[in-house]
Amino acid sequence: MTMDEPDFLDINDNQRIAYHKIDGQKPGIIFLCGHGSDMQGTKSIYMENWARTHGHGFIRFDYRGHGASDGNFLDLAISDWTADALAVIDHLTVGPQILVGSSLGGWIMLNAACRRPERIAGLIGIAAAPDFTKELIWDTLDKDAQSAMKQSGFLSVPNPYADEPVIYPYHLVEDGAAHLHLQGDTIKITAPVRLLHGMQDEEVPWQVASRIMEKLASDDVLLHLDKNATHRFSEPAQLDMLGQTITDLVRRIQDNQTK
């Protein structure tokens, strides 16, 4: 963990997002954290250290409602966090970028790549969780539970990482419906994509990664399944795999640029 003070990017008249940025060669790398996580996580810091070692530009940031950024977590949704990622791409970077998205970040990276295809050199999803508001929340509820969530405005579920429960507001499900990727025929992304997923993931089934792979328009997609990894995918061997994946992807992108 690093205790350096972050910089801030204005999102609107009264909200800012916190970020850390290092300059370096292209393609740059942007890390997108998971739902309720922040830019101080193990994978985020690992990626920053990788970027420093290899001389690449790198940004990690907190979505609104997360970490050091402004905003109330429960007031925000997929549209807001996608807008945050697009603001980082548009205002803090120049040239091609690789998006590395963990869990929710894997959904946000797909959204951003569809919105800014000319800026995206490649994607790496770590336990990527597109459509989770529909498939892993709403669709798991029976009719009575769905009605109760609508009436109360939220769903409370046990948190596997803390004593406090996870709260999913109903507006998160409503907003997520405008950003679904797995319900149609094709995800219109042609950049190279690498997907890492643990087969012991109890939050996002590893089959989600396989479905993403099948639906991507790109012909350059590789899926790595770790039989022992959980949703966090942050043990030393898994971080090594992340580092090797980004190394290989950067090399492939640079080779393609010289052809």
Residues that are catalytic: 103, 201, 231
CA distance 124 to 101: 6
91 C-beta neighbours (distance < 10 Å), count: 10
Long-range contacts of 111-117 (CB under 8 A, 24+ apart): 111/78, 111/82, 111/85, 111/179, 112/32, 112/82, 112/85, 112/86, 113/189, 113/191, 114/187, 114/188, 114/189, 115/82, 115/86, 116/86, 116/89, 116/90, 117/189, 117/190, 117/191
